Structure 1
């Protein structure tokens, strides 16, 4: 089995076990695979912000932050939800990142949607649809989010270490 296949099997297992969507991004920030669902809240936010949607840039910047830190990085996305990212570094070369999320650390609140609508000048026509879609986002306790982020980092780094050992022999 190739490394990418082993990584994909493990990421699918993580996504199934945690109900957290995982997206693999290459070193240029392009999506190469996804495990789990695309949430309607994110689709509505992207639709409402159109060509000015800040999501891709924020995710890419956060991937670079996790690379610079050498560990997982938890952050708030432009849509007001939590994501975390883990770098994929093989043979001292950045290959891409695993992006986890969205998740919510608190129960859905209309004030979150109102703040996002105001900040990004989104039409009020989206208010009810976005709030309804927000209720489908997985709710995770804050302490769990930190540990799930660390677990994903350990999973990816151990797979890379195992691959290095396997190719040595």
Structure 2
């Protein structure tokens, strides 16, 4: 059981299937499939039958569900059978309770080599090649852009199921989006010419722009610039934690001063600074 009233999940899965035409199912916190809506894929059934006790599907769905929990968003992945699924985690009181899973689908016409690879990797009897080909041809083909929107929709459904916990997922999603921006900045610095010292191309002008954004109260603009500066700070110090710490402290002092000059509460700002030092 994922929620106290699992009938709610059944109803939401049915709504998703009727609206999209794509099958979906729910898994528990161990990756076990609990119930589904829509036709069961004959390809999946045959794959599980041939895999027997070594079937990797449960662990694959569990891993994907956990990844969705980690990033606070829907997660699109390829299953061991070579098909596409997407998942959205169910969080109750901060704990992972399971996930909603959409699919399977294919994003392009099935390649004849795919079945050969599946047979080889899973050590299936080659005599099953024909039946697997027939079954995979029956799996719906959905263009990548629509898959992305189907994943987003399932994520919305999952959030509706756990409205009280949706804030946790939103915060995780926000955190990973910010981390992605920092990583982009790091990669940008890596792509620059290494022949000159890092200080040569440290974006001093961005610091001035950040100060201006903070003073004017432009929170969104300041956050974007700060993420870029953190990317430079993290990369330029390599693995030296002390250097990274010094640069971050320098940014913190600069932000505090700008906030005060912009009319911020002096005691609150310096109290926060001391808290994070």
Q: TM-score, normalised by structure 1?
A: 0.88
Q: Paired residue for 2:125?
A: 123
Q: Paired residue for 2:32?
A: 30
The structure with higher relative contact order (CA 8 Å, sep 6+) is 1
Choose from 8, 18, 21 the match for 2:20: 18
Moved more, 117-126 or 145-154: 117-126
Unaligned 5+ residue runs, structure 1?
A: 165-169
More strand by share: 1
Q: Paired residue for 1:45?
A: 47
Aligned length: 163
Once the two structures are superposed, residues 97-121 of structure 1 have per-residue CA deviations (whole angstroms, 9 ceiling, x without a partner) of 1111111101122211111112212
Q: Paired residue for 1:5?
A: 7
Larger of the two Rg values belongs to structure: 2
More helix by share: 2
Q: Paired residue for 1:148?
A: 150
Shift of residue 79, structure 1, vs aligned partner? 0.5
In the alignment, the residues of structure 1 paired with residue 6 and residue 95 of structure 2 have an alpha-carbon distance, to the nearest angstrom, of 15
Q: Paired residue for 2:71?
A: 69
Once the two structures are superposed, residues 131-153 of structure 1 have per-residue CA deviations (whole angstroms, 9 ceiling, x without a partner) of 10011111110011011101110
Which ranges of 4 or more aligned residues in structure 1 deviate by more than 4 Å? none
Q: Paired residue for 1:161?
A: 163
